[in-house]
A = this chain, B = another copy of it.
Amino acid sequence: MKDEQPQIDPGISTEEKIKEAARRVFTRKGYAATRTRDIAEESGYNIALINYYFRSKEKLFEIIMLANMQLFLHSVLDIVNDRETTLHRKIELLIEHYIDMLIKNPGLPVFVLNEINSDPLKLVNRLGFIEKHPDAYIIKQWKELAATGVIAPINPVHFVVNILSMTIFPFVASPLLRNRTGMTQEEFNQLMQERKKLIPMWISEMILKK
């Protein structure tokens, strides 16, 4: 919408500023706990203007939710479907990518997982646009490797779950973790940087048959 105007810098249009403010507040507090007033305050504008641009809190939320889900899920498809990189390298890249993205957006996983949890039915509609790649190239690679017999005879879902768990969960549990260990934010980020190397190593050990 509104792209018919010759915008000088579209990144800082009022509409974009409100959207950015909304993304921050929604992501931090979730849909229900966010008041339109909070977004108004955060953006520097007022309630009326938010509804002028987005009609309602709910419509604005849908836009943010979609963007956050994209950020959370869609960004990995390029990696997963690249035909040049090996399986092992793909896993490395995936983990690096997620950790970098989550250091920039630490609140994202809790937000997405919480909203999905409070209304799992909406998930189906929202994920429709991602359904495109049902069998990614990475799956083919996995099957090829499995055919050679070097992979541990365990349901592969376990390994996917392990990669995502070890990568994403620390961000989800970060406040608790920091509270228990006395780590600072900076130390936590450092820990996650270390994990970029460690997790692929651990995963390799799990995958390879002994």
Chain A positions near chain B (C-beta within 8 angstroms): 28-33, 107, 110, 113-114, 116-118, 120, 123-124, 127, 154-155, 157-158, 161-162, 164-166, 168-170, 172-173, 175-177, 179, 181, 183, 191, 194-195, 198, 202, 205-206
Does A170 lie within 8 Å of B165, measured CB to CB?
A: yes
Distance A114 CA – B175 CA, assembled complex (angstroms): 10
Q: How many copies does the complex hold?
A: 2
Q: Which of B110, B124, B161, B194 touches A114 (beta carbons < 8 Å)?
A: B110
Which residues from B are CB-within-8-Å of A117?
28, 107, 110, 175
Distance A148 CA – B61 CA, assembled complex (angstroms): 55
Which residues from B are CB-within-8-Å of A206?
202, 205
The smallest beta-carbon distance between A80 and chain B, in angstroms, is 13
Could you jot down 15 A-B contacts, CB within 8 Å?
A28-B118, A30-B33, A32-B33, A110-B113, A110-B117, A113-B176, A116-B175, A117-B175, A120-B175, A123-B179, A154-B198, A157-B191, A168-B169, A169-B169, A202-B202
Q: Which residue of B lies closest to A72 (CB)?
A: B176
Distance A195 CA – B206 CA, assembled complex (angstroms): 13
Distance A204 CA – B208 CA, assembled complex (angstroms): 15
Which residues from B are CB-within-8-Å of A198?
154, 158
Does B155 lie within 8 Å of A165, measured CB to CB?
A: no
